[in-house]
Amino acid sequence: MQLMAKPDRTFGLIVGIEKYHESTWNVPGGGPADDALKFAHWLHRRGVPKENIRLCLSALEENHQLIGECGLTVELATEQNISDIVTNFLSPKSGDLLYIFWAGHGVITSERERRLICADANKQNWQNLDFNSLLVLLGSDKFQIRNHICIIDACANYVLESKGRPTNLGGKTFLSGQPKQDSQQFVLLATREGEKAKVNSETQTGYCFISI
- Separation of alpha carbons 77 and 68, rounded Å: 16
Q: What is the pLDDT of residue 170?
A: 80
What is the mean pLDDT of each successive set of 10 residues along the chain, which is 212 residues long? 85 97 92 94 96 97 83 94 98 97 90 91 92 96 96 79 59 92 90 57 48 40
Residue 201 phi/psi, 5-degree rounding, is -70, -25
Q: Which helix (H) or strand (E) holds 133?
A: helix 131-138
Q: Which long-range contacts (CB under 8 A, 24 or more apart) does 26-30 make?
A: 26/60, 27/60, 27/104, 27/199, 28/201, 29/60, 29/199, 29/201, 29/204, 30/59, 30/60, 30/62, 30/63, 30/204
What pTM did the predictor assign? 0.87
Domains of the chain (ranges, CATH numbers): 8-204 (3.40.50.1460)
